[in-house]
Structure formats: C-alpha cells, structure tokens
A and B are shown apart, each in its own frame.
Chain A
Amino acid sequence: MIPLLIYVAIFVVSYLVFTKLIPHAARSDYTSLKTVTFGDESAVTPNRAASVISILTLFLLWGMFTGSALLPKFLHMPGPFEGTATFEYTAQLPDGDRDTATVTVLVHPVDEEATEPEVEPGEGWAKNDSATIGVWRSGLIRVDRNDEFGRGEGAEIVAVNGTPIAPGGEVEIEYGRVGMSPKGTLNFEPAKGWQMEPIWLPAPEDVVARVVEIAREGFRGSTLWEHLGYSLFRVVVGFFFGALVGIPLGYAMGLSDWFRGWFDPIVEFMRPVPPLALIPLVIIWAGIGETGKIILLFLAALWIMAIAARSGVSGVKISKVHAAYSLGASKSQIMRFVIVPNSLPEIFTGARVAMGVCWGTVVAAELVAAEKGAGMMIMVASKFQNTDIVIMGIILIGIIGFGIDILMRWAERLLVPWKGKG
C-alpha cells in the first residue's frame, strides 16, 4: 500500500513539475502549432522525461524498500529493528503478590551468530531474562523459567511494560510487539519496519552482484550463457521448423481449394489451443529432452506461420495478379514475383508473433522440466528461495524477449520496406 502511495505521489508531483512548473522547451515541430491536441492521437507522443522518471521511480522504490546501498540512507524506509531491545514484564502469584523483571533481547542479523547478552538476575522473585532473535523473526521467551516462582507454581504474567496482557493478547512496545500465546508464554516480535526481507525481495545491487557471480561461475553446472543460449536455441530451431512447414502450408491453403478444405479444420482448431496446454502431451510422447521442447515450439510456431502465410496470399489485390497475367507472366512467375513478395509483410508480422509466443512457451516448458535453460534457472532458484536469481532470470528473460522483438522489427524494416504501402 505504501509503495503504491509513494508511486502515485511521484507520478503526480513529477507530472505537475514537468508540465506546469518547468516552462515547455519550445517545440518547433508542426504539432506545436496544433490547437486541438486532446483527441488527436497523432499529437500524443511519449514524454521522454516521463519515461526516464518512470524507470528511475521503479528502481527508487525497489531501493527504498530493500535498504539498497545505492541510495543515501535518508531515502531508506524504516528498516527492521536491530540491536538490543528491553521490556518489562509483571508476574503475579495466586496470592496476588506481583513482581517485575526486565527482558533483554539481542535482535541480530539472521546470518550472524549471536550470544545471549549477560544480565544481572535482579531483585525480587521474578528474575531478569535475556534472549536472541533474528531480524524479521520472532521468538517465544519463557521468562518464568529462571524465576523463583514459575508457571508450575501458579505464577502468571499479567502485564508488559505496565500494560495488562492476557493469553491471546498483545502489547505494542518501543521495539516491536509482545504477544502472549494461549498458554501464557510471551512471544516477542521485533519491529519489522517497512523494508522487504531479502528472501522476498533482494536489493538491486544484490541482484546485480548475483548476475555477475552467475555469469562468472555459472548455475547448476552450466554458465549463464549456456542457460540463455539453450532457451534461445530451442526457440530458433522450433521456429525455424515451424516456418519451414507452416509457410508452404499457408501458401497451399491460400492457393488451392483442396488444401484449404483439408487443413482448415486442423489449423482453425489448433490455433486457439495454447501451446502450454500441449506440454503434458509432448512430455508423454517425447520426454523432457530437447526433442520434446523443439516439437512444442514447432507446434507453437506452425499454426501462426501457416495462418500468416495464408492471409498473405489471400490478401493479394486481384488487380496486381490480373496486371501480372496481362503482362505475360506465367503461374510460376506470378508466384515468385507477385504472390510471395506480396505476402512477405504478413509473414513477417506472423514471425514476430510466433517468436514472441515461442519465447514465452520455451520458458514455461523449462519451468516444467529441463536440464538447462532460463526457465529452469528461475524454477530451481525459487525452490531454494533464491529470490535474487529469480528476479535476475525474469529481467534477463524480459530483455531477451524485447531484443527478439526489436530484431524482428528491424529485419522487417530492412527486408519488407513496402509493408503497408500497397
């Protein structure tokens, strides 16, 4: 809730600052002269300042709530309590006699050894106690164990820091929260602050450090590049075979009644089946090795490519075909010089979609079962609560997916510059 509020606040404040306070850098393009911009889609261009602030804000929030060393201390959200906490408890005997003692708790980082602080037993029949508790953890403290009259003698704890407490109740103290179990044992939970525990969300620099570490040392017997390379290799091979079969199939469907009739039911049925739903069947048939994964990606790409090629062929303007015939072209020349180039833009669009779907499918397939691969990496890491590896994996998967799309768009611009110009 708090991160969301901060996020919204940064959004609003930066919006106001950048649009109202800072005078507009005079735009000199045509749009700057438009008086009607609200509702004119072409007048809306992404504000680069907003994009930069948006990304910085995400990292800022991430750093603030993880106590990142990259941020100055004053930006950190209150961290968990660490150090020595004390509170008093009041015990009462059946005859109404009360005594008070102090509990000293050393709250220490989880990965450090800690010894219980030494304390004087103190006056009275209730003796002072000490305990250790890890940061972000909580612990039961049997404070009556060293008392002259313990639970066995009918003593019960009635107050913490002077505030009455009963089984099931709790008292807020300066260092956190003291609760009481139904049996009457005190349970101390040091204040957790607002920061995330690293096992839920590690700080950005920890993730970066993990990337460096895994890039250098590898993960589970393979280097990082091997893991990512395997995923990419599967996608490329699966997509290649999908396109190799799918494009001719789509052409045949676009050019022949019989092919259209024969394959239409199959293609139309298979297209809406999510490739992920095929994973179990593919595992049964082909196992969890490379073959199974490539078959799955082949199937993911096949229908998309077939449909793209089919609509590329059907989309050819009849006047172009007529023109080519009356210029003396034969059927094979029409195919080569008119139908194929005319369908290329559609095929490229299909290829972009297919690559995206394949990338998503390969990660999912690796989550299910794999020896190597980006999906396997984050799945195994999650089982060991290695959240930093999981986050690293997600970011790398995102970057690669984005990279594939950029690459396909670039290839499209280069190879089919006539797209949408017909």
Chain B
Amino acid sequence: MTGLAIENLSMRFELPNGGSVQALKDVSLNLSQGELMSVLGPSGCGKTTLLNIVAGFLAPTEGQIVMNGHTVTGPDAERGMVFQQGALFEWMSVRENVGFGPRMKGMPRNDMDETVDYLLDVVGLQDFKEKAVYELSGGMQQRVALARCLANDPDVILMDEPLGALDALTREKMQSLVLKLWKETGKTIILITHSVEEALLLGERLLVMAPRPGRIHKEYRLPFADLGVGQDLREVKKHPDFAVKREEILGMIWDMEEEIMGRTEASA
C-alpha cells in the first residue's frame, strides 16, 4: 500500500529526576499519497515529537510508523524534512544546498544540475544560484529549504513550522508557494504550525492536538487548500466558512491553554 500509517503511537520521556512525561498517547492516523495535513495545537501537545518520530529521528515507546508498507526505523530520503530555520548548510552556495540530496545519492553531475536549475526556477531563485545562503533573506532561505527537500524527490514532506519565523507578507507568499508545489508535485505533506489561519489555508486535513498527554483532539476535512490553489489566499480568507472554522478552532485551543494554566495554578 502507498501512503503513511501512524499506528497507536505513544511516547514517554523519562526525566532525570525520576518522573516521566507522556508526550504522545495512542495516536493513530492514515495519510494517503498526495494528502496535505496540517497539525495544530497548543505548545507541549507533542506536535514536534510526532513529526520527529515520523521522520525517524526518534523511536516511539509504543506503536509504529508504516510507510509504503515497511516500518520506519530511522531517517530516510523518502521522508524529507523542512525545518523552521537554520538548517541550511551555510558553507554551501544555494546551488550546492539544493543539490545536496542528489549529490549524496551519487546522481550524475548533469542530471543534478538539471534538477537544481528546475527547482530554483520553481521557487524563483534562479538569480541567486551562486550566492551564499547567509546572503539571502529569511523567506528566500526557506524557499531554498523547500527546493532542497524537493530535489531529493521524497514521498512525504514533513514541515516543522517552516514559515514560523517569517514576516506576515512573506509568509502569505510562501503559503501560496507551498500550495502550488503540493498540487504540482502531488507529495504527501505534514505541516506543523502555530497559526490557525495557516493550518486552515494549507490543510486539506487539519488535525487539532491536545496536550498532556499529547493526543488527537479533533480532525477536520477542509476545502480551503483546494480553493487556494491558483487563487489569492486573501480571497479564500473571505470565504464565510473560513471565519467560522477559525473561531471554532481558536476557541478550542484557547480552552486547552486555559485548562493548562488552571492546572498549573492548582498544582502550584
């Protein structure tokens, strides 16, 4: 079968003082090829832990990840990752960064150059090919990160708040770019975000997680991602349903935060 299955995932961290934290409890979900799922939740709900397990950087205490029929045991080129920032190799030029994956695979020079050129065109950085990555703005750097990930042609792209550090305007442009790349490449994408709007705009499926222990709280299927392809995202935001959903989810997360605050105050 193709796609990604997360099966009964639990994660428990032992603390040095003898206690333990249940970061994830019994999380299960299935993603088919080509789905874009955004994950939302208050801080401490295990979003990043979930992503790290899917990427293969962490082994879960219970459960497993099944990818295209085989169990995930470690990081692999089939699951690409885009980080928030600072994961580019600053000792390499833009071209070398994007060509990193193909180079590791030993792709012939010509094919590699072709891939890199194509992707730099897609993300609109052809003119910055030979620049050092630290000479680029934050938004451009994230475009390089996207291109670098795509150059490897992974089946699944995992995004850990890739747009979190960008300013509002750049962020909107990048959101459009993510949608465009998603439609054009047909990749399966899991996107973690703090922004309810971003989750609504980009998530074909939207997963709201709850903290302590980290678990799936609610899942939505949304039309906005499809609407947003090839359309101004500001138009999508005017959709009557958008505001309703936004308020609903904001309220949900607000309640969770309140609950956490209450609990810590009670225990204090």
Contacts and interface: CB of A to CB of B under 8 A. Distances in A.
Describe A's contact surface by its main secondary structure: helix
Contact of B100 (A319, A337, A418): A337
A322 B152 CA distance: 15
Interface stretch (B33-41, B81-89, B213-221, B245-253): B81-89
A327 B89 contact: no
B55 A330 contact: no
A186 B16 CA distance: 86
A324 B83 contact: no
Contacts of A324: 89, 100, 104
A328 B91 contact: no
A417 B132 contact: yes
B90 A421 contact: yes
Nearest to A334: B104
Contacts of B132: 417-418, 421
A152 B253 CA distance: 116
B79 interface: yes
A330 B104 contact: yes
Q: Find the residue from B56, B79, B100, B149 having the highest chain A CB count within 10 A.
A: B100
Interface in B137-171: 148-149, 152, 154, 158
A327 B104 contact: yes
Interface string B62-90: 00000000000011110111011011111
Interface residues of A, number: 23
A322 B134 contact: no
B91 A317 contact: no
Contacts of A421: 90, 132, 134
B90 A329 contact: no
A172 B39 CA distance: 97
Q: Which bracket fits the contact residues of B? A: 20 to 34
Contact of A326 (B75, B86, B89): B75
A406 interface: no
Contact of B87 (A319, A328, A329, A344): A319
Given A328-B77, A328-B104, A418-B132, A323 B87 contact: yes
A154 interface: no
A322 B55 contact: yes
Contacts of B87: 317, 319-320, 322-323
A322 B75 contact: yes
Interface string B14-28: 000000000000000
Interface of B: 55-57, 74-77, 79-81, 83-84, 86-91, 100-101, 104-105, 132, 134, 148-149, 152, 154, 158
Interface of A: 317, 319-320, 322-330, 333, 337-338, 341-342, 344, 416-418, 421-422
23 contacts: A320-B88, A322-B55, A322-B57, A322-B75, A323-B83, A323-B88, A325-B75, A326-B56, A326-B80, A326-B154, A326-B158, A327-B100, A327-B101, A328-B76, A328-B105, A333-B104, A337-B104, A342-B91, A418-B90, A418-B132, A418-B134, A421-B134, A422-B86
